[in-house]
Amino acid sequence: MITKIAITDDHVMVLNGIVSMLETTPEIEITGVYENAEITITNLALQLPDVLLLDINLPDINGIDLSKQLLKSYPELKIIALTNFEDITFVKRMLKNGVHGYLLKNTDKLELISAIKTVLSGELYLQKDIHSKLLKQSIKSKNCNGLKPNLTRREKDVLIAIYEELTTQQISEKLFISVKTVETHRMNLMSKLGAKNSVGIIKIAIEKQLL
């Protein structure tokens, strides 16, 4: 039985590498390679694969939101996150949206094929390191029982500046850090708080009494 696989990743070299890894496997057929969410949505409506290998970091819609949208439209589709993001917050958000597997891009062919077979059988597949991190955080959460997220001093400074509705450039000037560093702190805040944007950062920070 042939398994139809589609791949969404905005890096052509990554796409080519995955195709090269899988195309020599007789029971696998690559039905599409897509560089962004929009192209993915359009083509999946025309030809639905059995499994979609999906990166999180896409130029238009992030993979977290895209997975939720696709699984709502195609409940039978199996999605495996294939990404460089190993932050447990991203893993948990993807799993919450219903994805069936989570792999880092350092995976090899044997593990990738094993993951595909596992999700097709109706089971969840998590790379060993990811599974271990989830387990450790679960144990830690039970012990800590809802403690506030652990923010660094700089992250707290950026959080307050976002709350004050300062722009990225204004935050950069106020804290004497680069614009890129501000964006890094913003991404870390989103990750730690489970927020999608600055509005979410503030909403969740208030709920957790960080502001």
Tell me if 67 sits within 8 A of 54, measured CB to CB.
Answer: yes
The alpha carbon of residue 83 and the mean position of all alpha carbons in its chain are separated, in whole angstroms, by: 7
Integer-rounded Cα radius of gyration of the chain: 19
Mean pLDDT by runs of 10 across the 211 residues of the chain is 96 93 93 96 97 94 94 96 88 90 93 95 89 71 60 93 90 94 93 87 83 71
DSSP helix/strand/coil, 126: strand
Tell me if 76 sits within 8 A of 96, measured CB to CB.
Answer: no
CA distances from 55 to 47, 74, 116, 137, 177 (A): 19, 18, 15, 23, 30
CATH architecture of the domain with residue range 153-207: Orthogonal Bundle (1.10)
CATH topology identical between 3-128 and 153-207:
no
Per-residue DSSP letter, 196:
S
Residue 47 amino acid letter: Q
Tell me if 149 sits within 8 A of 191, measured CB to CB.
Answer: no
Q: If you classify domain 3-128 with CATH, what class do you get? A: alpha beta
pLDDT value for 139 = 55
Segments making up each domain of the chain, as ranges? 3-128, 153-207
pLDDT value for 175 = 95
Tell me if 1 sits within 8 A of 15, measured CB to CB.
Answer: no
User: How many Cβ atoms are within 10 Å of 199's Cβ, its own excluded?
Assistant: 10
pLDDT value for 147 = 60
Helix, strand, coil fractions of the chain, as percent rounded to 5 = 55, 15, 30
Instruction: Report which secondary-structure segment, H or E, holds 83.
Output: strand 78-83
User: How many Cβ atoms are within 10 Å of 163's Cβ, its own excluded?
Assistant: 15
